[in-house]
A and B are shown apart, each in its own frame.
Chain A
Amino acid sequence: DADVTQTPRNRITKTGKRIMLECSQTKGHDRMYWYRQDPGLGLRLIYYSFDVKDINKGEISDGYSVSRQAQAKFSLSLESAIPNQTALYFCATSDLVRDTGELFFGEGSRLTVL
């Protein structure tokens, strides 16, 4: 089983719908992140969390919200999906104690907004 698990892996939805992407991890890491990846662009940070009580906006947080339900769970919501939110979304974790900065990614959630 993957250490960082994302659900769903693929989702097609319509404009205006609310969508939640979920991420859970068994690595015991404190830090969790949500990124989106678009063709021809680098990974862009949406939100990140350094512990359950700490939530921070990334460079492209507009139109998104997150919830850190537990150390192991970090979910991303699109309150009212729009077509330009069509992208590949990755959850990632990193280790606060070791603090090497190395990220461990989930397998990705491909979202299509029609």
Chain B
Amino acid sequence: GQNIDQPTEMTATEGAIVQINCTYQTSGFNGLFWYQQHAGEAPTFLSYNVLDGLEEKGRFSSFLSRSKGYSYLLLKELQMKDSASYLCAVQDSNYQLIWGAGTKLIIKP
């Protein structure tokens, strides 16, 4: 079966750095997405990786290793507004998105 694993919850301190991991086992691979979802709101796109390596976008970076079935989202200089759930999703061989359950990130002052 297809599976996306990510931690259920993480806690970090304002101003610090946090890394949210995602491992996947899917039928084929056509890209990996990270979305941010604030409580009660819609998910919004953060990043897309299809090749191995690091993609940097401001305070957020996303890394992919296809051979290991692994990705991480790195958030730097954490702000209180970064408190949200972070969803990992993989596009399989049919270009269907398989979603992880999300990681709830709690930022403390």
Contact = CB atoms under 8 A, between A and B. Distances in A.
Interface of A: 40-45, 90, 100-108
Interface in B33-68: 33, 35, 40-45, 48
Given A100-B48, A101-B33, A101-B91, A45 B42 contact: no
B48 A105 contact: no
Nearest to B30: A101
Say what secondary structure dominates the interface of chain A.
Answer: loop
Interface string B83-104: 0000101010001111111100
Interface of B: 4, 8, 30-31, 33, 35, 40-45, 48, 87, 89, 91, 95-102
A35 B5 CA distance: 19
A45 B96 contact: yes
Contacts of B31: 101
Given A41-B101, A90-B42, 17 more contacts: A42-B4, A42-B89, A42-B99, A42-B102, A44-B99, A90-B43, A101-B48, A102-B33, A102-B45, A103-B45, A105-B42, A105-B43, A105-B44, A107-B41, A107-B42, A108-B41, A108-B42
A95 B53 CA distance: 25
Contacts, number: 46
Contacts of B44: 105
A61 to B, nearest CB: 13
A103 B48 contact: no
* Closest A-B pairs by Cβ, 9 of them: A42-B99, A105-B42, A43-B99, A102-B45, A42-B101, A42-B100, A105-B43, A107-B42, A41-B101
Contacts of B42: 90, 105-108
Contacts of B87: 42-43
Contacts of B40: 108
Contacts of B4: 42
Given A101-B33, A101-B48, A101-B91, A42 B41 contact: no
